[in-house]
Amino acid sequence: MIKDPISFEVTKNALISCSREMSQALRRTAFSPNIKERRDCSCAIFDRDGNLIAQSRDIPVHLGAMPLSVKSCIERLGRNIAEGTMALINDPYSGGSHLPDLTLVAPIFHNRERVAFVANRAHHADIGGESPGSMPGLSLSIHDEGIVIVPRIVVIDDVLQRDLVCDILEATRTPDERLGDLSAQVAANNVGKKRLSQIALQYGWASLSRTFSDLRQYSAKMMTGALMRYNGMSGEFTDYMESDGAGAWDIPIAVAVNIRDGRLHVDFTGTSNQVNGNVNCPIASTLSAVYYVLIALFGRNTPTNEGCWSVVDIVVPEGSLLNPKYPAPVSAGNVETSQRVVDVTLGALAKIVPDLVPAASQGTMNNLTIGGIDPRTERAFSFYETIGGGSGAAFGNNGESGIHSHMTNTLNTPIESLETEYPLRVCKYSILRGTGGSGKWRGGDGIIREIEILSNICTISIQSERRAVGPWGLAGGQSGKGGKNTITYEGQIHSFQAKSTIVAPKGSIVKIETPGGGGWGTPPESELILDLNRN
């Protein structure tokens, strides 16, 4: 029972504002366009045990997974996380996602006792590995994808210690940019520590700690109430990853969900075992995808914190595609497989709450990395971005066109920034009309993005999905159209696989066509005829 609802509401919003200010500080001080322009980063506040208390409006695949990283640092480092220190982690088997996502965790002390944590996660454009960008089309081991960082102290007296990250700087192709982005992460945590201490100065740490607990209990109660309306209902769904880049095709992800006594039970038994290629999804990213769906469907007006998913029981068999064992490669699992986890969980819940669940969105992040030597500076560069597509239609609403959906919440890389920072030229960037699935409400359209290579030789990697089969529709809606990857050189057009790494000469033009979203509801007959004529 909340004793003072007004103070509770004010404090809750102050905590959310604190995490948002952290996020702004990180973006404003970052070096790489991927963080400062695309906003591929997330910030949050945690209690003394590593439970999520408040978060900024950032990246879903980051935020649901970050508590495991914070708790891993607490478990591994213990008292070594002292006042003025910060710990760094990216290990996918200890709460991390994929290797480019570096999480920096900072404790907050009061009277020599640890009372809270602030943390942020940022996607670094290169962290070593076999190919620039650390997102290879093919990798057979986690070590092909970059440097693995188990929890370690890298900040002392609130200052990044270069000698403690020297191996990271040696592994990456772009050490100056990495050092700049890491410094921005330190700055963001310092902002969070300062702001959270100011809130505590007003209310007292004892009162603030009680608010942490009240927030979790409040959110849990809200989620339980929302789930109780569907008590006793269940659903199942199976969808597929098209390939792992290493010879496996049509890889099943199966889920069964049911709601009992205000709790959501999610069971991924029946999902494929882990595979040789890099679509294995770390358990933290799998859980994050389920949490995202839960909050999106049932969490209206509910503060997002650890209490939200305290009402969820999730079974993910160890050694499966969604809970792989070391040294399975995972770079595409965090970005591509997590999207399919969302799809299958939504598909199963559509049997329970059909009017709440949208048709499938594009189901991919269309990860593109380009790396080489910039002829203007004669230094290595590494460009990374994800490309939007169509979102699925829902009851009463058409899908949005050309946006990032579900587990990604990034922006695009502005053309001006891309062409200034890298030896690349954007030849075309537009909505790919007619790719959304037909329906009573139509799916959103995908994007076409063409980029010309201006350096002598570049390594290009793509991690994508929904190239063979388009995103599914619901309630009689049609599927969206699948995507396509091609490269043009000297007038010749060549297709390349959904997960590929290629070497391309100057003048090559990479063309990415992204999928449209699925339609919702049976389409009008006139629209079906129009679609037939298009095909």
Report the pLDDT averaged over residues 199-216. 94
Report the SS3 class of residue 525: helix
Confidence of residue 58 (pLDDT cuts 50, 70, 90): confident
Confidence of residue 535 (pLDDT cuts 50, 70, 90): low
DSSP 8-state code for residue 273: B
Confidence of residue 528 (pLDDT cuts 50, 70, 90): low
Measure Cα distances from 523 to 393, 518, 519, 527, 528 in Å: 12, 12, 8, 6, 7
Rounded to an integer, what distance in angstroms lies between the CA atom of residue 366 and that of residue 526? 32
Secondary element (H or E) of residue 290: helix 283-298
DSSP 8-state code for residue 363: -
Beta bridge mates, 123: 101
Q: Which residues contact 292 (CB under 8 A, 6 or more apart)?
A: 60, 61, 64, 342, 406, 407
Rounded to an integer, what distance in angstroms lies between the CA atom of residue 85 and that of residue 94? 20
392: left (phi over 0), alpha (psi -120 to 50) or beta: beta
Q: What is the pLDDT of residues 65-104, one digit of tens each?
A: 899 999 999 999 999 999 999 999 999 999 999 999 999 9
DSSP 8-state code for residue 287: H
Q: What is the pLDDT of residues 227-260, one digit of tens each?
A: 999 999 999 999 999 999 999 999 999 999 999 9
Confidence of residue 526 (pLDDT cuts 50, 70, 90): low
Burial of 175 (0-12, 13-18, 19+ CB in 10 A): middle
Q: What is the pLDDT of residues 97-139, one digit of tens each?
A: 999 999 999 999 999 999 999 999 999 999 999 999 999 999 9
Chain centroid, CA 124 distance in Å: 13
At residue 388, the pLDDT reads 98
Q: What is the pLDDT of residues 329-340, one digit of tens each?
A: 999 999 999 999
Q: What is the pLDDT of residues 273-316, one digit of tens each?
A: 999 999 999 999 999 999 999 999 999 899 999 999 999 999 99
Which two tokens mark 171?
A: 């592994």
Which two tokens mark 290?
A: 């389920």
Q: What is the pLDDT of residues 414-438, one digit of tens each?
A: 999 999 999 999 999 999 999 999 9
How open is the CA angle 484-404-252, to the nearest 5 degrees? 60
At residue 283, the pLDDT reads 97
Token pair 């200890």 is found at 94
Inform me whether the pLDDT recorded for 508 exceeds 60.
yes
Rounded to an integer, what distance in angstroms lies between the CA atom of residue 136 and that of residue 329? 10
Which two tokens mark 121?
A: 């996660």
Question: What are residue 443's phi and psi, to 5 degrees?
Answer: -70, 155
For the chain, the structural domain boundaries read 5-219, 358-535
Report the pLDDT averaged over residues 208-234. 96
At residue 383, the pLDDT reads 97
Check: CB of residue 389 under 8 Å from CB of residue 514.
yes
Check: CB of residue 168 under 8 Å from CB of residue 147.
yes
- How many Cβ atoms are within 10 Å of 48's Cβ, its own excluded? 16
Inform me whether the pLDDT recorded for 532 exceeds 80.
no
Inform me whether the pLDDT recorded for 61 exceeds 60.
yes
Secondary element (H or E) of residue 213: helix 205-228
How open is the CA angle 327-328-332, to the nearest 5 degrees? 135
Burial of 274 (0-12, 13-18, 19+ CB in 10 A): buried
Average pLDDT, the chain: 96
Q: What is the pLDDT of residues 312-322, one digit of tens each?
A: 999 999 999 99
Q: What is the pLDDT of residues 445-482, one digit of tens each?
A: 999 999 999 999 999 999 999 999 999 999 999 999 99
Chain centroid, CA 261 distance in Å: 31
At residue 5, the pLDDT reads 87
Rounded to an integer, what distance in angstroms lies between the CA atom of residue 514 and that of residue 428? 13
Q: Which residues contact 201 (CB under 8 A, 6 or more apart)?
A: none
Rounded to an integer, what distance in angstroms lies between the CA atom of residue 73 and that of residue 275? 28
CA atoms within 13 A on the CB side of 338: 34
Confidence of residue 35 (pLDDT cuts 50, 70, 90): very high
At residue 71, the pLDDT reads 97
Confidence of residue 1 (pLDDT cuts 50, 70, 90): low
Rounded to an integer, what distance in angstroms lies between the CA atom of residue 267 and that of residue 287? 11
Check: CB of residue 335 under 8 Å from CB of residue 386.
yes
Token pair 């000297």 is found at 490
Report the pLDDT averaged over residues 391-413. 95
Rounded to an integer, what distance in angstroms lies between the CA atom of residue 101 and that of residue 64? 14
Q: Which residues contact 95 (CB under 8 A, 6 or more apart)?
A: 65, 67, 68, 69, 70, 71, 72, 89, 284
Smallest CA-to-CA distance from 345 within 452, 267, 424, 415 is with: 267
Q: Does this model's pTM top 0.85?
A: yes
Identity (one letter) of the amino acid at 86?
M
Q: Which residues contact 217 (CB under 8 A, 6 or more apart)?
A: 307
At residue 525, the pLDDT reads 75
